[in-house]
Amino acid sequence: MPEPSLAPPLHPYYPIEAQIVGYLANEWNTLELCSMFAAGCAAIFSVTYAVVKRVRPSTSASDLITILWFVLCGCIHLFFEGYFAYNFRRMGGMQDLFGQLWKEYSLSDSRYLTQDAFVLCMETITAAFWGPLSFVTAAFITIDHPLRHAFQIVVSLGQLYGDVLYYATCMFDHYILDLSYSRPEAAYFWGYFVFMNSFWIVIPLYLLCSSAGATWRAFEALDKADKILKGKAGAVNGSAKKRL
C-alpha cells in the first residue's frame, strides 16, 4: 500500500493536498465550456444592444459600449458569482453549466473549491451589490440620469478594489507562504487567472477616471455659471448704486 503522501491526488487542482468536498470531474471539456461561456456573453450583448437601440436610438457609441459592459457585469456578478456565493460549500460536486464553468476556472484558482474566507466574502459582496448596481448603472446611462456618474464611480471602484484584493491575496500566498492555487500550465495562470480578471482592472479604472472627469467638468461649469450670475448681480447693483 503506498504512503498517503505518494497517492495520486483525487482531483486536478493545486495545491494537490487541497481538500475538495465531494469532487466530481467535469463532463464537458475546456473548449465546450469556453464556447458556452462565450455564447452566453454574445447573447447578453445582442439582447442589450437591441433593447438600447429601441429605447434610445440616439445613444452614442461610447455610451452603448459602456451599457453593454455594465449589463454583462450585472449578469456575471449576480448570476454567475451569485451561484458561487450560494453554493460555495458544495462547488466540487456541482455538474450543471455554472458548476462546471467554476470547476474549469478553478484550475487557475482552487480557492473557489476550498471555502476560502476572502474569496467567498468578496464574491458575495460582488453578487449582492455590484451585480444589481451594474444593472442600475446601465439603466441610468440609457436614460441619461443625473446619478449616472456617481453610480459608475461606485460600481467601478467596487469591481477594481475587489479584483486588486483578489490578485493581491493570491500573490501573498504564492510569494510569502509558497502556496500556489493554480495548476502549473501557463494557460491556466496567465489565461484564466491573469487575463480574464484583468478586464476588471483595466475597464473599471478607465470608467472610474472618465466619470470622475465628468463630475469635475460639471462642478466647474456650475462654479463658472455661479460666478457669471454673481458678476451680473454685482453689475446690476453697481448701476443701481450709480443711479442713486
Instruction: Based on the shown chain and the rule CB under 8 A, indicate whether residue 228 belongs to the binding site for a copy of itself.
Output: no
- Between the alpha carbon of residue 118 and those of residues 55, 85, 112, 142, 174, the distances in Å are 40, 12, 10, 34, 15
User: Per CB under 8 A, does 164 bind a copy of itself?
Assistant: yes
Provide, rounded to whole angstroms, the least separation between the CB of residue 217 and a copy of itself: 8
Regarding 157 and contact with a copy of itself (CB under 8 A), the answer is yes
Task: Rank residues 105 and 166 by Cβ distance to a copy of itself and give the closer one.
Answer: 166
Where helices occur in 106-145 by DSSP H, the ranges are: 117-125, 131-142
Is 110:13 a contact under the CB 8 Å cutoff? yes
Pick left, alpha or beta for residue 115 (phi over 0 → left; psi -120 to 50 → alpha; otherwise beta). left
Tell me which of 11, 77, 103, 149 binds a copy of itself, using CB under 8 A. Answer: 149
Question: Interface residues for a copy of itself in 120-139 (CB under 8 A)?
Answer: 120-122, 124-125
Q: Which residues contact 72 (CB under 8 A, 6 or more apart)?
A: 41, 44, 45, 48
User: By CB under 8 A, is residue 161 in contact with a copy of itself?
Assistant: yes
**Which listed residue (1, 6, 31, 117) binds a copy of itself by CB under 8 A?**
117
Question: CB of 218: closest distance to a copy of itself in angstroms?
Answer: 5
Element housing 68 (H / E): helix 61-75
Q: Which of residues 179-208 bind a copy of itself (CB under 8 A)?
A: 208
- How many residues belong to the chain? 244
**Minimum separation from the CB atom of position 232 to a copy of itself (A):** 14
Would you say 40 or 158 has its CB closer to a copy of itself? 158
Residues 141 and 63 sit within 8 Å (Cβ to Cβ):
yes
User: Contact 81/127 with Cβ under 8 angstroms?
Assistant: yes
Piece in contact with a copy of itself (CB under 8 A), picked from 77-85, 110-118, 186-194, 230-238: 110-118
Check residue 77 for interaction with a copy of itself (CB under 8 A): no
Nearest to 111 by CA among 5, 187, 20, 12: 20
* Nine cell digits for residue 154: 461606485
In the shown chain, the binding pattern of residues 29 to 68 toward a copy of itself, with x for contact by CB under 8 A and - for none, equals: ----------------------------------------
CA distance 154 to 166: 18
Stretch that binds a copy of itself, among 13-21, 76-84, 160-168, 230-238 (CB under 8 A): 160-168
- The answer to whether residues 110 and 189 touch, using CB atoms and an 8 Å cutoff, is no
Write out the residues near a copy of itself by the rule CB under 8 A.
115, 117-118, 120-122, 124-125, 146-151, 153-154, 157-158, 161-162, 164-165, 168-169, 172-173, 176-177, 208, 211-212, 215-223, 225
